[in-house]
Amino acid sequence: MPDRLSEQSRRLLSLLRGDTSLPARGMPGVDPPTGMSIAQEAAHHGVAPLLFATLRGRAGPSPLDTNTMAFLRDEYLQSSLRNMKIFSALERITGVLCRQGIDVLLLKGAHLARFVYPREATRPMADADIMVRSADFARSVALMQGAGFKVHAEPHLASASPPHIAHVSLASRTGTVIEVHRTFDLSRPGSPVDIEGVWARAETIRLNGADARVMCPEDAVLHLCMHAAMQHAFCLGLPVLCDVDAILTRRGSVFDWNMLVRRAQEWRMTRGAWVTLALCHELLGVMIPGEIVRALQPAPPREPILEAARARLLEGKPRDAASWTMLKRIAVPPPTGSRLRALGRQLFMPPGELARRSGVPAGSCRVAACYARRLGALTRTYLPLLWRLARGERATRASARGVRDEAALKRWLRSE
């Protein structure tokens, strides 16, 4: 692992790799405060359940103290309960769709947790993502609504028929969210991904008595690279490395690396695949053939890009997601004139849309008051952040730099 990693990151990665000893000063264990700090960092990244299972499965005593292991065990049990709830809803809705002749393909966690990782709880999920064929998209959403799910998104997504809507989130009565996709490439318009080819290569699995599909291992790895790199610029943290490692551990004997390279070229995402796989090898020790990394690597080599991606990945999810979202709107320089247009849309959205968001009848005179309330809400939301930026508050300025770095990384990854 590179010397520039922090000691905490180094120790966490060593534990996730299953190393029999920690590299720091050759010590086999850590003191309780440091151990708890490592466990909390693992929880921030969403890998605490995996860390618990890894430590429980290794020979010899755990390098972490009893209280830290209890913290990790609680994270594991919470993940288990969450996943049980999600899979219960997923099994029910998959059965509903399959009985109507609709093919269902499980994406990301819904695929990995049960069918790739050795233990379901080691791969936490916040929701479940599924994909249906584009021709079945509107009918699938309607069937889910008939089964008690409600649209869990902006009101303009309540109708799923327009072709530009790529996915819709729906929530069950118990709050479990399932995202229905017609495509999994949400990173760019006019995606070059051959969705029908993905369906043709998909493998059939059984989900509580119903036939469902999962991506073949090469497509699954590329989807993880696409989601982590091109859609989120590595701000989701370490789980993508663990996900790739889990697929290769389970399917490595039949994994076709040359096919992955060809498909990455066809999908125009060799950059995203190169960065993701290089970091998998560097940080988690995942065995990636050197010739594959070289085949994907852009010319000339882009070490600053790799450093920026590594920094974003090790930082993980923004700890203040609301401020991060607001900073994206004010700190990232958009194309000329678009910032003003975006501000105008925020302040003066169409009356019908504002009426729906505010819960008042369309055409009501109360819509004018809604505009005033919206202006006040946006002022209360953005003015403190702008003030902190103007004062040069260190944490806010660092977050603004992170937002700009993320935007630059996304531009490079998507410009292939």
Strands (E), 222-334: none
Each residue's pLDDT tens digit, 369-393 = 777 787 777 777 777 777 777 787 8
Is pLDDT at 90 greater than 90 in this prediction? yes
Query: pTM of the entire structure?
Result: 0.84
Position 27 pLDDT exceeds 50: no
Position 130 pLDDT exceeds 60: yes
Q: If you average pLDDT over residues 341-367, what whole number do you get? A: 68
Q: Is residue 347 over pLDDT 70?
A: no
Query: Among 156, 53, 138, which residue's Cα sits nearest to residue 102?
Result: 138
Buried b (16+ CB within 10 A) or exposed e, 103-120: bbbbbbbbbbbbbbbebb
- Indicate if the alpha-carbon torsion angle 24, 7, 75, 309 is positive or negative: negative
Q: Is the pLDDT of residue 356 over 50?
A: yes
Asked if the peptide bond before residue 300 counts as cis, ω within 30 degrees of 0, the response is: yes
| 168 pLDDT more than 60 | yes
Residue of 50, 58, 34, 57 lying closest to 83 (CA atoms): 50
- Answer positive or negative: Cα dihedral of 109, 114, 115, 116: positive
Q: Which of 93, 123, 146, 144 is nearest to 242 (CA)?
A: 123
CB distance 279 to 225 below 8 Å:
no
Q: Where are the domains of the chain?
A: 7-77, 217-317, 321-414
pLDDT class for 30, splitting at 50, 70, 90? confident
